[in-house]
Amino acid sequence: MRTLRVGIASYEEMRARTLAIAGGKYRPGPDEPKVWFSSAESFARILSDRNRSLLRVIAESAPESLAELAGLTSRKKSNLSRTLKTMEHYGFVRLSRGARGTLIPRVTYQRISLTLPLSNPERVGNEAA
């Protein structure tokens, strides 16, 4: 079962982490988050109950177009498109082109695991995975 690891870090923490990685001072471990959000609130907005339900429908029904997905979820195609493009940005779904240019959504992970720090790490690489 594929799991996407997600973390929460401020802009400053992510900048310091990125610079440490680029400078060879820090190497991320395999169990560290691959996707980062700036706050728990932003994570919760993207993975709201409604959007998790949408991911479930995609995973179980494998719709062949946004029009089909709109019919399955009673959501407008334009709203689905916007929501799915945001989710694609974070790696929660993959959108591919089908026949006649239709967008085909697919869920890329079966689970999402959130690493939520309760305090600021003292230095990059000193946080729990």
Structure confidence at residue 59 (pLDDT): 96
**Count of alpha carbons within 13 angstroms of residue 90, beta-carbon side:** 23
The pLDDT tens digits for 5-29 are: 999 998 999 899 999 999 999 999 9
Quick: pLDDT tens for 66-124: 999 999 999 999 999 999 999 999 999 999 998 888 899 999 999 999 987 777 655 44
CA Rg value for the chain: 17
Q: How big is the CA angle at 53 (ends 41 and 30), to the nearest 5 degrees?
A: 60
Amino acid at position 82, single letter:
R
pLDDT of residue 120: 61
User: Domains in the chain, please, with CATH?
Assistant: 3-115 (1.10.10.10)
pLDDT band for position 127 (cuts 50, 70, 90): very low
Q: Is residue 39 pLDDT above 80, yes or no?
A: yes
